[in-house]
Structure 1
Amino acid sequence: MSEPSHGVTLAAIQAARRRLEGQVARTPLVRSEALSRRFDADILLKLETCQPTGAFKLRGATNMIAALIERHGREALAAGVVTASTGNHGRAVAHAAARLGIPAVVCLSRLVPADKAEAVAALGAEVRRVGESQDAAFAEVERLVRERGMVLIPPFDDPLIAAGQGTIGLELLEDAPDLDRVLAGLSGGGLLGGIGAALKALRPEVTVTGVSLSRGAAMAESLAAGHPLAVEEETSLGDSLGGGIGLDNRCTFALVREVMDEHYRVSEAAIAAAMVDFLEHEKRLVEGAAAVGLAALAEHGIAVRGQTVALILSGNAVSLETFDRARALAGC
């Protein structure tokens, strides 16, 4: 059997898991009693908020850097690594690079909240604010790769990144072998695509549900069009789900199209209500992008009765100011 064009195979995900052992957390999968009663289902929360950097992105970034060293030697990264990010991936690259003593530059658009930029800088990376979109930040990345010989660690569009995120899927099935459905945020496609690749290889009957923002959802618009599109970003509580997928996308567009079974878009009000719900009933402060699974269940009335359902709580990078905005929008 030939390897898929996107390159994210079960073998690649299993290799990622070996590289990540001892480098990232094997995060808990916990049952929410309140949500299980509310939806008459077994609702499980995958707590990627427990990663050292507070988000799932550490898996992909660490896997890629480790794989490059494994294949080409540490000297291949002597000029340092560079990326563009909406925040969490930048923290992941900064964390992984610092542990290995490798210089790192993280390019952020001006739409990325200040608290996320400060968190990246605190890990030792150089932060560059560039333009009003992810595409503008990527232009600066390309310049640094071209002029300084830095190595790009992309936020999502690479088989090594998606395979690292796919290790979440392996853990889900180990902890919940009867899993019926998983809901994950959909942006660039590394998270949902990687998880979906693992699940479809090992338990193909699991329903893989992607959740996007109601506005500025580049992957959703691209899938509807049948090819990658440039979509204008908009400010959102779920800002980690913003950004384009790249007109020359070579991995995640095909991957998501292959593994995703259904897709929902959620409003700002639904995201706000879910963020508040997680704090009030689960005592978990999560960012908007981490709350979209619950937002989709509530806003769209997805039929999950009697099912075992996993919600991916992807990150906790939310300021109190942003959370107060969510509370106000939710009417609290």
Structure 2
Amino acid sequence: MSLPVTPADVASARHVLTGAVLRTPTLPAPRLSAITGAHIFVKYENLQVTASFKERGALVKLASLSPEERARGVVAMSAGNHAQAVAYHAARLGIRATIVMPKHTPIVKVAATEAHGARVVLHGESVGDASEEADRIAKEEGQVWVHPYDDAHVIAGQGSIGFEMLEDAPDLDVLVIPVGGGGLISGIATAARHMRPDIEIVGVETTLYPSMWNALHQENRPCEGATLAEGIAVKNVGALTREIVSALVSDVVLIDEPTFERAVNLFLTQQKTLAEGAGAAGLAAVLADPDRYRGRNVGLVVSGGNIDPRIVASIMLRELEREERIVSFRFSMLDRPGELGIISSLLGSLGANILEVEHKRHFLDVHAKGARLDVTVETRDRAHADQVHKALIEDGMDVVRIDWNSTGA
């Protein structure tokens, strides 16, 4: 079978990357293994200078340019990781770089790209709009187009990850890899299948952007919506990547947003590493279908760690609420001195730490002589939360547990 990228191409790319891109570790993750039932090994691409695997493909592509092409400069389109990777390595090689990004790209990503010396052009509302502008600039200014995924040099560069993972963990049974445009999984599959023809390779997309799924299944599911995994929120996959994925990838699965959140949180709390939504896709797939991976040696790639700290904080709080380590109670009580003190003392005696209190008097569904008190507390776990609730009722409190997902309060 003749494919656009060969194992020999990936091997050549490795020579280009040696000494210029970090050979990141592939390490066992015992805590994640205990949670999932699989034997998890993690490849930490978030340790690269720009915190993403994108450096590999970007450097291999830039290194392939002729002196004349380097003199013309390069143009790339990206909302984040590819932009920083191209800008960083273009600066290292003395190549002028123009990066086109959507208008609403977070300022932190724009600033990081500019810090590497690239000219940033903000254009359009979407990655598609930015891509069209980048194509126009390439034609008008004669710059070389550096595609984020549908390029043989880029795919070969990403494929170096596959060789490294199986060198460090040769007994892996399955690789579970994020899929956006398909460059990462295409490269890894090319290398991994060469070393281990029997290895299973599973691609992971967010349910909101099933672009590769559509391509493989001849379906037309919508690709739209706000997703935590914006790094793989791609509406159209590449022609080269589709061909490689069709030939070498065992399956592509779709994962929902809450599972991505849980995966990001577990990487942070259990592995002490920062993974962006797309970077946690492999773990999300294992969490979503643990029976498929139980007892098997599973390789995951933390493909990137560029995530907004505010999003991380939100995810951690949401996970605490899902685990019922943060719960809210609604008390209906008489509006008289000392009532709040009684409730707070009782909660304290039960080991619940009060985080927030909201006192409501002026609602029509509250008795004229009464008040409603919403109290958010920290508990040890779900069992402790149930124990606190039961004890409050047994003490004569008029109290209900608030489910913010269903009340709309």
Measure, in 2, the Cα distance between the counterparts of 1:274 and 1:219: 21
Measure, in 2, the Cα distance between the counterparts of 1:155 and 1:230: 23
Q: Is the 8 Å Cα contact of residues 158 and 251 (structure 1) preserved in structure 2?
A: yes
Normalising by the residue count of structure 1, what TM-score does the alignment of the two structures yield? Answer: 0.92
Does the residue aligned with 1:287 lie in a helix, a strand or coil? coil
> Which residue does 1:22 correspond to in 2?
19
> Which residue does 2:243 correspond to in 1?
254
Measure, in 1, the Cα distance between the counterparts of 2:96 and 2:275: 29
Residue type at the aligned position of 1:16: A
Q: Gaps spanning 5+ residues in structure 2: where?
A: 322-409
Q: 2:9 aligns with which of 8, 12, 22?
A: 12
Normalising by the residue count of structure 2, what TM-score does the alignment of the two structures yield? Answer: 0.75
1:285 aligns with 2:274: yes
Q: Gaps spanning 5+ residues in structure 1: where?
A: none
Does the residue aligned with 1:156 lie in a helix, a strand or coil? coil
> Which residue does 1:122 correspond to in 2?
115
Q: 1:215 aligns with which of 176, 192, 208?
A: 208
Shift of 1:327: 2.7
Q: Is the 8 Å Cα contact of residues 36 and 290 (structure 2) preserved in structure 1?
A: no
Shift of 1:328: 4.2
Write the deviation string for residues 84-134 of structure 1: whole angstroms up to 9, x where unpaired: 113101110001100011111111124533322222122111112211222
Shift of 1:302: 4.2
Identity of aligned residues (%): 36
Measure, in 1, the Cα distance between the counterparts of 2:162 and 2:186: 10
Write the deviation string for residues 291-321 of structure 1: whole angstroms up to 9, x where unpaired: 1111111122242222211111001101111
Q: Is the 8 Å Cα contact of residues 111 and 235 (structure 1) preserved in structure 2?
A: no
> Which residue does 2:101 correspond to in 1?
108
Larger relative strand fraction = 2
1:36 aligns with 2:33: yes
> Which residue does 1:192 correspond to in 2?
185
> Which residue does 2:156 correspond to in 1?
163
Residue type at the aligned position of 1:324: A
> Which residue does 2:68 correspond to in 1?
75
Measure, in 2, the Cα distance between the counterparts of 1:282 and 1:125: 34
State the structure with bigger RCO (CA 8 A, min sep 6), 1 or 2: 1
Measure, in 2, the Cα distance between the counterparts of 1:326 and 1:183: 23
Number of equivalences: 321
Q: Is the 8 Å Cα contact of residues 112 and 239 (structure 1) preserved in structure 2?
A: no
Q: Is the 8 Å Cα contact of residues 233 and 243 (structure 1) preserved in structure 2?
A: no
Q: Is the 8 Å Cα contact of residues 29 and 175 (structure 1) preserved in structure 2?
A: yes
> Which residue does 1:54 correspond to in 2?
51
1:3 aligns with 2:2: yes
CA RMSD for the aligned pairs?
A: 1.7
Measure, in 2, the Cα distance between the counterparts of 1:220 and 1:120: 31
Q: Between Structure 1 and Structure 2, whose CA radius of gyration is higher?
A: 2
Residue type at the aligned position of 1:197: T
Shift of 1:195: 0.2
Measure, in 2, the Cα distance between the counterparts of 1:99 and 1:233: 36
Measure, in 2, the Cα distance between the counterparts of 1:111 and 1:206: 40
Measure, in 1, the Cα distance between the counterparts of 2:142 and 2:169: 44
Q: Is the 8 Å Cα contact of residues 230 and 244 (structure 1) preserved in structure 2?
A: no
Does the residue aligned with 1:106 lie in a helix, a strand or coil? strand
1:95 aligns with 2:94: no
1:236 aligns with 2:227: yes
Q: Is the 8 Å Cα contact of residues 38 and 294 (structure 2) preserved in structure 1?
A: yes
> Which residue does 1:296 correspond to in 2?
285
Measure, in 1, the Cα distance between the counterparts of 2:216 and 2:33: 32
